[in-house]
Amino acid sequence: MLGRLIAARVAAIGTTANAIIAGDYSRRVPIDSLGGTFADQARVFNRMLDRIESLMDNLRQVSSDIAHDLRTPLTRLQAMLRDASEEEIGEDERRTLIAAADRECEDILRLFAAMLRIGEVQEGRRRPHVAAIRLDSLVEDIVESYAPVFADGSQQLLLEECEPCTIRCDADLFNQLLVNLIENARLHTPEHSVTQVSLRRNAGLIALRVSDNGPGVPAGDRQDVLRRFVRLERSRSAPGHGLGLALVAAIAAFHDAEIVLADAAPGLIVEVNFPAADTPPTF
């Protein structure tokens, strides 16, 4: 009797495993209502399958998104190279087309570089240099360096508030996170818009906030924009590939930080809440 019961439970695991091998990632091991060791193992096995299904869904989505996002720049690149090879065009026009093709190649390379950075952070392949860092100095420097870029586009970048704060973080990754947030605001807001950056303490956390008075993001789309390659329809003509906020989300997760997207009425608020450090800063 016991032998048949054990054999039936092992067979159930085997049936599920074979279904997974055949491509049915939705299958799970049935959990016996009697409980016990086999039920506990089935729950662990099913959690593993949940993770595998999630990874496979993400892989399919990313593969589809890459193909979709690369089609347009590769088509433009092909057209430029074909035009540049025409014998009847002048040398000045040929040089212009080759320069444009070169910029298109750089844009594609930036896409892959961003994808690699996200993968390195999410999969732990990037060796971190985590230390207790004074964030206020970093934030002030980044805002100061990017303010002229905003001014060139008839936009404003302001440092609203910057409390002395310390967190344990990888300084390079934090720089990337804030630069991506600032660049996202610059690219998706019109002329004469204002982007504000603040850093403050909030209930035991360090809150980094970037807000703008642009068109904002509808409530139903806010979690989606943190995924790779997601671009809202009105942003299709803007530069970029929809990876900026995905990299922000990966870096935030690396630091056990929480991202909150909210309505600035008008505009978008992105707030990243980091755990505060208990140790003194390293500089």
Residue pLDDT, tens place only, 91-111 = 999 999 999 899 888 878 877
So what's the pLDDT on residue 58?
Answer: 67
* CATH architecture classification, 1-127: Orthogonal Bundle (1.10)
Burial label, 216 (beta-carbon count in 10 A; 0-12, 13-18, 19+): buried
Q: Torsion angle, CA of 65/67/68/74, rounded to 10 degrees?
A: 140
Residue-wise DSSP of 155-197: -EEEEEEE---EEEEEHHHHHHHHHHHHHHHHHTS-TT-EEEE
Identify whether the C-beta of residue 194 lies closer than 8 Å to the C-beta of residue 155. yes
CATH 3.30.565.10 domain extents, the chain? 130-275
Residues 8, 17: Cα–Cα separation, whole Å: 14
Whether pLDDT at 238 is above 70: no
So what's the pLDDT on residue 233?
Answer: 45
pLDDT winner (highest mean) among 13-27, 61-75, 200-214: 200-214
Q: What is the average pLDDT across 154-168?
A: 91
Structure tokens at 249: 């989300």
So what's the pLDDT on residue 272?
Answer: 94
CATH 1.10.287 domain extents, the chain? 1-127
- Name the residue with higher pLDDT: 89 or 232: 89
Identify whether the C-beta of residue 45 lies closer than 8 Å to the C-beta of residue 13. yes
Residue-wise DSSP of the chain: -HHHHHHHHHHHHHHHHHHHHTT-TT--PPPPTT-SHHHHHHHHHHHHHHHHHHHHHHHHHHHHHHHHHHHHHHHHHHHHHHHHT-TTS-HHHHHHHHHHHHHHHHHHHHHHHHHHHHHHHHHT-S---EEEEEHHHHHHHHHHHHHHHHHHTT-EEEEEEE---EEEEEHHHHHHHHHHHHHHHHHTS-TT-EEEEEEEEETTEEEEEEEE-SS---GGGTTGGGSTT---GGGTTSSS-S-HHHHHHHHHHHTT-EEEEEE-SSSEEEEEEEEPPSSPP--
pLDDT in tens, 194-233: 999 999 998 889 999 999 998 877 776 666 666 655 554 4
Identify whether the C-beta of residue 248 lies closer than 8 Å to the C-beta of residue 224. no
Q: CA 75 → CA 52, 67, 105, 131, distances in Å?
A: 34, 12, 12, 45
Q: What whole-number percentage of the chain has pLDDT above 70?
A: 78
Q: What is the average pLDDT across 2-26?
A: 77
Q: What's the CATH code, domain 130-275?
A: 3.30.565.10
